[in-house]
Structure 1
Amino acid sequence: KLPKIPDHLFSQKLRFRSTSLGIFSLLLLVYHKSNNNTLIFLMQPCHVNLIILMCITLMTTPIRTYLFNVYLHNQWGVSWLAIFNPDLRSHHQPLETFNFFFEHIVLVVLPIYWIYSKKITVWKFSWKFAFQSYWCFAMYHAWILEPLSYISAQNLNYMMAPPPGPLRLFGTYYRNVMFIAGFILTVSTRLIVESIMLVIKYCNKQKKIYKLM
């Protein structure tokens, strides 16, 4: 059952700031992709999840809590990997590389801020929900990105060919390895979030103790 989250936890100021960051990045994305005739790449998971985060700030129904907790499991594939292993081979336009890192940093920072300021409920880790979250990630790739890749002849999130790196060693089986590694990273990312929450809880406790002294 989805918990009811009071709408006042998301102030108008927070909504404006969060959506402004997303809109700025999306406008640059549309501009760059239009110039390259590659608007189909707006279906990449990172861009779709940026829109989802913007929607979460605007939603007043409990479904936003569900979407946010799914995102916490899958953010490894939409932010962390891109930051630490960026593929910038197609970036030739002004501000294109800047927006690449700007977007992915927003995808990391916004959820951490929401967790720190208790703006949205984070559910306890469970294997059942981890499988469910990974299923959302895997099915988006298998049912949407892979067919679109064949139709458009574009390598959407490496559904037609592996990225530069170790995945190329597996040849035609690279997708199998990618999906197996994806589940491991899904669980690992959520456990990292759990650790971050413990650190935040400890810091808040220390603040309270300091105020009482």
Structure 2
Amino acid sequence: MTWEYIRANLIDPLAEFFEDMHPNLPTKPDPKDSLSGSWFLHPSRHITEFFAFNAIFIPAALYYNTKAWNRPSFLRDVDSKVATAKRQPIVDGIVFGLSAGSLTLILLHKYYRNSMIYMLQPCHMSCIAMMYFIWANPKKRSTHTYFNIYITIMWGGWLAMLTPDMRGLHLFLEPEVFWAEHILVSVVPLVLAITKRFIIYPLSFDFVMASFLVFALYHSIFLSGLALLTSYNLNYVMHPPLGPLEYFGQNFRPAMYAFCCVLTFAFRGIFVEGVYRVGTLLVDKIKTVLGAEWALPKGRKKK
């Protein structure tokens, strides 16, 4: 089967189908609008990349997921830590309440704008994930596995805060909710890990790669497919955001995935690992000091 045959019988018919579905979609994105899509990439390029990326990402995800869990020492370490995990009712209630409140305001804003589909943006899905983590059974390995996948790829929230795209955020409390939500989904998980509410898995190349591929597949299958069906620029899969990715032009998506892969390893291996190690040392030190103070007999002062 030649490329010409595939193009003539698969790529071109699908490209024509989506082009006919959205005949008024502009070829140039509106710099003032971060939501509406465009044919910045030709429809045939969208279809080609859809099949190409997923042909790479799906088998790679299966391979690295299998490889990550096919290590007895890794499993023993994980299971021994999961056995010590337990709920923290006060902290759990606060985090769940903040997540629910943030999500409610976001839903109201999206409903008012008639843009509910944007609830599928990774940052909003992260808010839902936070609620799931708090609700899920802390004694199940799957709970901590999902949390570790999340904390490995949550650099997106930090990137959004470092390069905020505030275009169109003018409704009541909308800018404030933007910041509150991203702090919640980016900073709070680190606090939950440091305080041992959730365990952190040993650093593993295979697990980090598998986590990145979860992120990649969410974009390459789900968001890219929905973007073609709806013409919305879901998390910049139709055209790049303002900034460095614009310089890659038609190749912005391969550049985006490559950049995200490197960022995933750097974030998990350096930032999360560093914050977790330093944070747990500080928490243990504070507990030791407070424990020594509380252990003093009544009426006696520490010298």
Amino acid at match of 2:236: Y
Q: Are the counterparts in 2 of residues 149 and 159 from structure 1 also a CA contact under 8 Å?
A: yes
Task: Give how far 1:103 is off.
Answer: 0.3
Q: What is the total number of aligned residue pairs between the two structures?
A: 212
| Higher helix proportion (structure 1 or 2) | 1
Task: Give how far 1:21 is off.
Answer: 0.6
Distance in 2 of aligned mates of 1:203 and 1:134: 30
Amino acid at match of 1:22: S
Q: Corresponding residue for 2:147?
A: 68
Cα distance 1:50–1:14, how it changes in 2: closer, same or farther (>3 A)? Answer: same
User: Following superposition of structure 1 onto structure 2, how do residues 1-213 of structure 1 map, counting pairs within 5 Å?
Assistant: 1=75, 3=79, 5=82, 9-60=86-137, 61-77=140-156, 79-191=157-269, 192-204=271-283, 206-207=285-286, 208=288, 211=292
Task: Give how far 1:14 is off.
Answer: 2.5
2:200 partner SS: coil
Q: Are the counterparts in 2 of residues 167 and 177 from structure 1 also a CA contact under 8 Å?
A: yes
Task: Give how far 1:202 is off.
Answer: 3.0
Greater CA deviation, 48-57 or 108-117? 108-117
Cα distance 1:10–1:73, how it changes in 2: closer, same or farther (>3 A)? Answer: same
Cα distance 1:93–1:34, how it changes in 2: closer, same or farther (>3 A)? Answer: same
Distance in 2 of aligned mates of 1:112 and 1:136: 20
Q: Corresponding residue for 2:16?
A: none
TM-score (norm 1): 0.93
Cα distance 1:35–1:138, how it changes in 2: closer, same or farther (>3 A)? Answer: same
Distance in 1 of aligned mates of 2:153 and 2:188: 15
Distance in 2 of aligned mates of 1:126 and 1:116: 19
Task: Give how far 1:39 is off.
Answer: 0.5
Distance in 2 of aligned mates of 1:147 and 1:178: 17
Task: List structure 1 runs of 4+ shifted beyond 6 angstroms.
Answer: none
Amino acid at match of 1:186: T
Amino acid at match of 2:119: L
Q: Are the counterparts in 2 of residues 72 and 189 from structure 1 also a CA contact under 8 Å?
A: no
Amino acid at match of 2:202: K
Amino acid at match of 1:99: V
Distance in 1 of aligned mates of 2:238 and 2:279: 41
TM-score (norm 2): 0.66
Consecutive unaligned residues in structure 2, runs of 5 or more: 1-74, 294-301
Q: Corresponding residue for 2:53?
A: none
Consecutive unaligned residues in structure 1, runs of 5 or more: none
Distance in 2 of aligned mates of 1:67 and 1:54: 12
Cα distance 1:17–1:138, how it changes in 2: closer, same or farther (>3 A)? Answer: same
Q: Percent identity?
A: 30
Task: Give how far 1:205 is off.
Answer: 5.0
Cα distance 1:108–1:163, how it changes in 2: closer, same or farther (>3 A)? Answer: same
Distance in 2 of aligned mates of 1:198 and 1:6: 20
Distance in 1 of aligned mates of 2:218 and 2:224: 9
User: Considering only aligned residues, what root-mean-square deviation do their CA atoms show, in Å?
Assistant: 2.0
Task: Give how far 1:107 is off.
Answer: 0.8
Distance in 2 of aligned mates of 1:11 and 1:116: 13
Q: Greater Rg, structure 1 or structure 2?
A: 2
